[in-house]
Structure 1
Amino acid sequence: MTVWCYSEPQSRSACTRAPSPATPARHHQMTMKKQTSTMPMPVPTLALLLLLLLLLLAVQIANAAQSPPLLTPTATATPPRIAIVGAGIGGGATAYYLATKHGLANTTVVFDSRDYIGGRLKHTIIDNQVIELGGDAYASPNIYMEELVKELNLPISLRRGSGGAAAAGRHSESLDENDNGVSTPIDNLVAKLKVRLIELQARAQKAGSGVQGVSGDNIGIWTGTGWIPLTLTLLDHLLSDTGTLESLAGFLIRLRENYVLRDDLTTPFKTVDAFLRFGDLEMYTNTTADTFFDGHGVAKATQQDLINPVLRVIYDQSLDESHAFGALVSLTSLIDAYSIATGNSKLVEALFAAAGSQVSLQSRVVSIAYHRDTKNWNLTYVSTASQDPEADQQHIIVDRVVIASPLEYTSILFINTSLSVTPRQFVHWYVTIIVAKSVNPAYFNEQPSFVVPEAVLTTQPKSGNATVFNVVQYIADADNGYHIYKIFSNDWVNSTLPELFVDIREYDVQVWPYTFPELVATTKFQPIELSPDLFYLNTMESIASAMEVSVIAGRNVAALVAKSVA
């Protein structure tokens, strides 16, 4: 079992084995010495002293009336111990905001059965190139992600942008500001959308037909038997294109309203429904994407040939399966998408480090028992390397528990607390990284001189033209004239690789048993507060599984935890 102690050194029992439930929990507490002045001062008259005291009291009352209550524990209170189950970005965000927004640094103990920090954010390095194996990128509307990257001073790379795909290694410019100096990334994105649409339509007019009409903007869409002429499709459905743009612009505007209306850490939301009410976002989660686009005048051809392939890349679902929120989030990735230059998991490591968290890797949480008399929790965990899990179980007493991993895959036994959680279906994912000379044009029934688009998306599989992958994409250049490619699929593609690539040097496969839940249209969501003092992040994934959503969930639960201990 690997233990990362970012916090100040504690007793060995705090890091490895906590006291038994019958023994009071031990807490690490810092004390500060208050300096007092010894300078003599004249003794005022009784009347003057009373007047000064009254003035002081009046000032304190006025300040209390003008300032909102802070969700921080009192100075004399013993700092709480907070357990976080899951060392992914949601858990990291929870710990970070507890420390930076609520004065609860060095209070979080984190458990994860994996041997690395990051959860579903993971990367590898090939020929000095950082290649993401999990969550790939975040987009401009992700306000909190932008803030975290700046606060932690992390380098970023533009993965996709208005200049084309795969611009790895370039740093993004700072957010534009309006006349009042307020960052408006969503306004900027809407403007970029309009520019992109004009660019694509102009290309379509020049391209006419043929090979150049396939890729348009370094993106090709393959049906399994032939190409969809992307730019020509855009040109043929101008009104539909406008409907798509208006739908996405309206969605981004409502997202901005959501951020503005709930940007108050003193009033966190307690349900997913409450979150969606900010900005009226329910309209996107309670209807399927195809029904939504039908209602906004988007042609079926545009839906099936353009929007659906993008949705398949991001969430491996179709328009009649996913809610509209998921489809619209997918479309934002076409404009610009950023990642941490050193690997997205480095963000999570930085969050826990800044929070002073104690992170125990390769530690599987077995059970969580609530003690009603002491109003705290006994968390039982065991090393994943243990040869005798029953004998090697360890315990820790904590005041609050945050579950930062899908309950459907934790297998935790909850004792003395009743949970009412409807399980969700999840999508599994295969990420295949290939180092080869090139993609083989013959696979697409083309001549050797054909230039395969940098990103090849696919349509929904149909009888007779099934596609084995959702996307094959150029990522970066490797050494000695080789290139690095990535394939997303929901099954193994090993047998297809020799046909699809020329001169394969190596390849590797990352299998994710669960990647994101099925984004079904619904009005019912799992709870955020599972029981008093037991909180859950991953219900928010039913809206969208994205880094920003995880950060929103962590930021909110941090406020709920702080409020519960204040």
Structure 2
Amino acid sequence: MFQQILSLIGSFNLGNNGLVPNLVSQQTEVLPLNASIAIIGAGAGGSSAAYHLSNYSRHQVDVTIFDKNDYIGGRVKTIEIEGESYELGGSIFVTVNSLLIEGAEQFNLNISTPEEPEGNNSTVSVWDGQELIYDFPRGWSWWKGILFLKDFGLSPLYATYYMRTTIGKFLQLYEEPLFPWSSLTTVVDEVGLTELIGTDSRTWLNKNTSVGTKFQDTILQALTRVNYASNLDHIHSLAAMVCLAAEDGVRQIVGGNNQIFHNWVKASGAYVKLNHPVSNIVKSNEGWLVDGNYFDYVILAAPFAHSDLSIISGTHGEDVHLIETEKLIPDVPYVELHVTFVLSKEKIDGGNYFGKYGYSYGTILTTTTPPYAEPQFLSLSQEGTTEKGHYVYKLFSYEDLSDEQLIDIFGWVKTPKTLLKVWRKTWYSYPKMQPVSELANIEIAPNLFYTSGMDPFISTMETNALSGKNIAKLLQARIYNKQNNQ
């Protein structure tokens, strides 16, 4: 979608700076003790935890995965339109996402680089709600890079430098001596990212960098809006830097990114219960009671705020009470994101709406600065062309878009039957990525672990998978030590 922008930014090569960690698999000890583990949530975090538990423990660990949905993947899901799969959530990942890349390669999944739809010679444009304020021609050439520098000065180079420095710090979380970490708040401070997650992007950029206001408003804010549905004034600085991390291009799995998680779950050997919501878990002397069975350990692998889960202590005459999770899991507001797919007979004709006639519209990102009102959508992109010759478009927005609004945006007021079909999905897709001073505990109660404390730090498929892997490693050590101490 926006790889054209990032290819321009990332083409100013400043060196690798150690962005790709060495993740060569290491031999781990076999756990001789049988342990039972419940995982609530079959998304990136839960499937990763199950898979890495099976790797670390090899055998004799019984894992059961519960999920309220009828599919594996959580917030990563596909939709089929005229025989082709399109991503409803978790659309892309990047080359430094080593867990996803390794997972895809291990299971021989087809990794592709998203391309502009065949025959689409359009540009990526930025819309401020009133006019198209910037266009990015397709592809890369030196003269286009020079024009980019002419428009934004040295800001693209500065942005690339700070992004790479930031990602380099983040990638320390993958390796010893920091991995595995028992406190996300502590390890974030150790790698030097506390200030970035505690400061809004606008303030941090103006205080610590030479990235100009024009680049911030036109480019970076367009990227934070398409990635996290947030403006620079409200999103923390680490999230803004991550939005630039696709400099080497974006990737996706042909047929759906959730295939990685399907394969992780399958390879783990876990018992899977889909369509199986868990409303409460109970801590007792016998362990954790989940769905009528006792487990030694529980991993909550879904955002707690949207889990409808009660955590209770005490059964069978014990002092029964709710565990006060507010002290352990900070309240994290999530974005209510509306995803809309449009199938049409014709391409977008945006002359009336966007003010340019005879223009080849492809991807439209948005930005907004006072005094302009918020645009109706966050992004609009042509996702593909079906074998029947129909066009597939995808929009992100804060609110539901009616058919009438879509017809107006696409310029089909006089030919409303051009709109063939609309698919809509509403997600609590990711946190609002507001500045934060403290992150949730990894272990929120004895032997109860939580993956989604990672979300307000950085919310991606990769980071949730990393959180699951981290907890699997912590559990491996605990189970092993418990056996040795018996």
Please confirm whether the aligned pair reaches a TM-score higher than 0.5, indicating the same fold: yes
Give the corresponding residue for 2:94. Answer: 139
Q: Please, which of 358, 378, 397 is the counterpart of residue 289 of structure 2?
A: 378
Q: Please, which of 272, 279, 288 is the counterpart of residue 184 of structure 2?
A: 272
Give the corresponding residue for 1:7. Answer: none
Deviation at 1:71, TM superposition (A): 5.8
- TM-score of the superposed pair, with normalisation by structure 2: 0.82
Tell me if structure 1 keeps the 8 A contact 2:340–2:394. yes
Tell me if structure 1 keeps the 8 A contact 2:64–2:272. yes
Tell me if structure 2 keeps the 8 A contact 1:72–1:562. no
Aligned: 1:73 with 2:35: no
Tell me if structure 2 keeps the 8 A contact 1:98–1:105. no
Q: Deviations over 1:502-533 (max 9, x none)?
A: 41111110111x11112122221111101111
Relative distance call for 1:505 and 1:413 in structure 2 (3 A) is same
Deviation at 1:324, TM superposition (A): 0.9
Structure with the greater alpha carbon radius of gyration: 1
Extract unaligned runs of 5+ from structure 1: 1-67, 169-214, 381-394
Tell me if structure 2 keeps the 8 A contact 1:233–1:302. no
Extract unaligned runs of 5+ from structure 2: 1-25, 137-146, 314-322, 413-417, 481-486
Q: Please, which of 243, 262, 266 is the counterpart of residue 158 of structure 2?
A: 243
What is the letter of the counterpart of residue 543 of structure 1?
Answer: F
CA distance, structure 1, for counterparts of residue 250 and residue 296 of structure 2: 39
Aligned: 1:96 with 2:51: yes
CA distance, structure 1, for counterparts of residue 424 and residue 149 of structure 2: 35
Deviation at 1:245, TM superposition (A): 1.9
Tell me if structure 2 keeps the 8 A contact 1:71–1:563. no
Instruction: Quote the RMSD (CA, aligned, Å).
Output: 2.4
Q: Deviations over 1:52-105 (max 9, x none)?
A: xxxxxxxxxxxxxxxx9956422xx3x211000011111000000000122247
Relative distance call for 1:368 and 1:320 in structure 2 (3 A) is same
Helix, strand or coil at the partner of 2:154: helix
Q: Deviations over 1:123-153 (max 9, x none)?
A: 0111222100011111111111111111222
Aligned: 1:441 with 2:350: yes
Relative distance call for 1:529 and 1:217 in structure 2 (3 A) is farther
Tell me if structure 2 keeps the 8 A contact 1:435–1:478. no
Deviation at 1:157, TM superposition (A): 1.8
Deviation at 1:284, TM superposition (A): 2.3
Helix, strand or coil at the partner of 1:435: strand
Deviation at 1:464, TM superposition (A): 5.0
CA distance, structure 1, for counterparts of residue 104 and residue 340 of structure 2: 28
CA distance, structure 2, for counterparts of residue 221 and residue 447 of structure 1: 13
Give the corresponding residue for 1:285. Answer: 197
Q: Please, which of 299, 302, 308 is the counterpart of residue 411 of structure 1?
A: 308
Tell me if structure 2 keeps the 8 A contact 1:86–1:111. yes
1:87-126 map, 5 Å: 87-104=42-59, 107-126=62-81
Aligned: 1:488 with 2:393: no
CA distance, structure 2, for counterparts of residue 298 and residue 216 of structure 1: 30
1:89-238 map, 5 Å: 89-104=44-59, 107-159=62-114, 165=116, 218-230=123-135, 234-238=149-153
Tell me if structure 1 keeps the 8 A contact 2:160–2:244. no
Give the corresponding residue for 1:205. Answer: none
Helix, strand or coil at the partner of 1:332: coil
Relative distance call for 1:316 and 1:104 in structure 2 (3 A) is farther
Instruction: Give the number of equivalent residue pairs.
Output: 425
Aligned: 1:533 with 2:447: yes
Tell me if structure 1 keeps the 8 A contact 2:127–2:134. no
1:267-416 map, 5 Å: 268-277=180-189, 279-294=191-206, 295-333=208-246, 335-372=248-285, 374=286, 376-380=287-291, 395-416=292-313
Q: Deviations over 1:182-203 (max 9, x none)?
A: xxxxxxxxxxxxxxxxxxxxxx
Tell me if structure 1 keeps the 8 A contact 2:40–2:65. yes
How many percent identity over aligned positions?
A: 24
Tell me if structure 1 keeps the 8 A contact 2:436–2:456. no
Deviation at 1:537, TM superposition (A): 0.3
What is the letter of the counterpart of residue 415 of structure 1?
Answer: I
Relative distance call for 1:262 and 1:492 in structure 2 (3 A) is farther
Relative distance call for 1:69 and 1:234 in structure 2 (3 A) is closer
Deviation at 1:271, TM superposition (A): 1.1
What is the letter of the counterpart of residue 133 of structure 1?
Answer: L
Deviation at 1:306, TM superposition (A): 1.1
Deviation at 1:273, TM superposition (A): 1.8
Give the corresponding residue for 2:456. Answer: 542
CA distance, structure 1, for counterparts of residue 241 and residue 131 of structure 2: 26
What is the letter of the counterpart of residue 359 of structure 1?
Answer: V
Q: Deviations over 1:254-302 (max 9, x none)?
A: 23444344575xxx21111233245323232122111222121111111
Relative distance call for 1:243 and 1:449 in structure 2 (3 A) is same
Relative distance call for 1:131 and 1:533 in structure 2 (3 A) is same
Deviation at 1:322, TM superposition (A): 0.8
CA distance, structure 2, for counterparts of residue 418 and residue 69 of structure 1: 39
Relative distance call for 1:529 and 1:399 in structure 2 (3 A) is same
What is the letter of the counterpart of residue 321 of structure 1?
Answer: H
CA distance, structure 1, for counterparts of residue 426 and residue 391 of structure 2: 22
Tell me if structure 1 keeps the 8 A contact 2:118–2:385. no
CA distance, structure 2, for counterparts of residue 461 and residue 297 of structure 1: 20
Relative distance call for 1:352 and 1:547 in structure 2 (3 A) is same
Relative distance call for 1:418 and 1:564 in structure 2 (3 A) is farther
Give the corresponding residue for 1:50. Answer: none
Deviation at 1:233, TM superposition (A): 6.6
Give the corresponding residue for 1:458. Answer: 366
Deviation at 1:445, TM superposition (A): 4.2
CA distance, structure 2, for counterparts of residue 70 and residue 482 of structure 1: 52
- TM-score of the superposed pair, with normalisation by structure 1: 0.71
